[in-house]
Chain A
Amino acid sequence: MSARSPLARIRRYPSAVAGLAIILFLVGVAVYTVVAIPHAQAMADWRGGDQWRMNPANASPVWTNRLFGGNAPPTLTISSDGAEVESAVFEGGRQLRIPLAFDFAYDDFPSEMTLLLSVLGTDRPAFVQATWERPDGSEVRLGAHRIAGEDRIAISRNRALEGRLGQVPHIGLFTDQTGPGRPAVLPGTYRLTLEAVLFDPGAELRAELVAFGRVHGLAGTDHLRRDLMLALLWGTPVALAFGLLAAVGTTVTTLVIAAAGVWFGGLVDATIQRLTEVTMILPVLPVLVMVGTLYSTSIWLMLGVVIALGIFSASIKMYRAMLLPLRNAPYIEAARAYGASDMRIILRYMIPRILPVLIPAFVTLIPTYVFLEASLAVLGLGDPVLPTWGKILNDAQAQGALYNGFYYWVVAPAALLMLTGLGFALFGFALDRIFNPRLRSA
Chain B
Amino acid sequence: MSAPLLAVEDLSLHYRTEAGVLKALDRVSFELDRGEALVFLGESGCGKTSLARALLRLLPRNLAEYSGRVSLGGTDLMALSDERFRREIRWSRVSIVMQAAMNALNPVVRVGEQVAEPLTIHAGTPRAAAMERAARALTRVGVSADFMDRYPFELSGGMRQRVVLAMALITEPELVILDEPTSALDLLTQAGIMNVLKRIKRESGTSFILITHDVGTSSELADHVALMYAGQIVERSPARQFFRTPAHPYGEALMASVPRLRDRTEPQPLEGTPPPLIDPPAGCRFAPRCARRFAPCDRPPPEARLDDGRRALCWLHGGAA
Residues of A within 8 A of B (CB): 2, 442
Contacts and interface: CB of A to CB of B under 8 A. Distances in A.
Interface string B45-85: 00000000000000001100000000000000000000000
Contacts of A442: 61-62
Nearest to B18: A2
Contacts of B61: 442
B96 to A, nearest CB: 26
B140 to A, nearest CB: 39
Nearest to B16: A442
A260 to B, nearest CB: 33
3 contacts: A2-B18, A442-B61, A442-B62
A2 B19 CA distance: 10
B20 to A, nearest CB: 13
Nearest to B19: A2
Contacts of A2: 18
Nearest to B61: A442
Interface of B: 18, 61-62
A442 B17 CA distance: 10
A8 to B, nearest CB: 12
Contacts, number: 3
A212 B8 CA distance: 91
Contacts of B62: 442
A73 to B, nearest CB: 62
A290 B62 CA distance: 56
Contacts of B18: 2
A308 to B, nearest CB: 42
A11 to B, nearest CB: 15
A348 to B, nearest CB: 30
A442 B15 CA distance: 13
A367 to B, nearest CB: 32
A442 B18 CA distance: 11
B17 to A, nearest CB: 11
A2 B18 CA distance: 10
A154 B215 CA distance: 104
Q: Which 3 residue pairs are nearest across A and B when measured between Cβ atoms?
A: A2-B18, A442-B62, A442-B61
Nearest to A2: B18
A254 to B, nearest CB: 34
Nearest to B62: A442
A442 B62 CA distance: 8
Nearest to A4: B18
B254 to A, nearest CB: 28
A442 B61 CA distance: 8
A128 B177 CA distance: 111
B59 to A, nearest CB: 15
B296 to A, nearest CB: 37
B63 to A, nearest CB: 12
A115 B44 CA distance: 92
B62 to A, nearest CB: 7
A442 to B, nearest CB: 7
A139 to B, nearest CB: 84
A440 to B, nearest CB: 11
A301 to B, nearest CB: 50
B22 to A, nearest CB: 15
A324 B115 CA distance: 35
A2 B17 CA distance: 12
A26 to B, nearest CB: 33
A7 B61 CA distance: 28
A434 to B, nearest CB: 13
A373 to B, nearest CB: 42
A289 to B, nearest CB: 48
A115 to B, nearest CB: 75
A235 B103 CA distance: 57
A3 to B, nearest CB: 11
A275 to B, nearest CB: 34
A405 B18 CA distance: 56
A87 B62 CA distance: 94
B30 to A, nearest CB: 33
A204 to B, nearest CB: 82
A2 to B, nearest CB: 7
A79 to B, nearest CB: 71
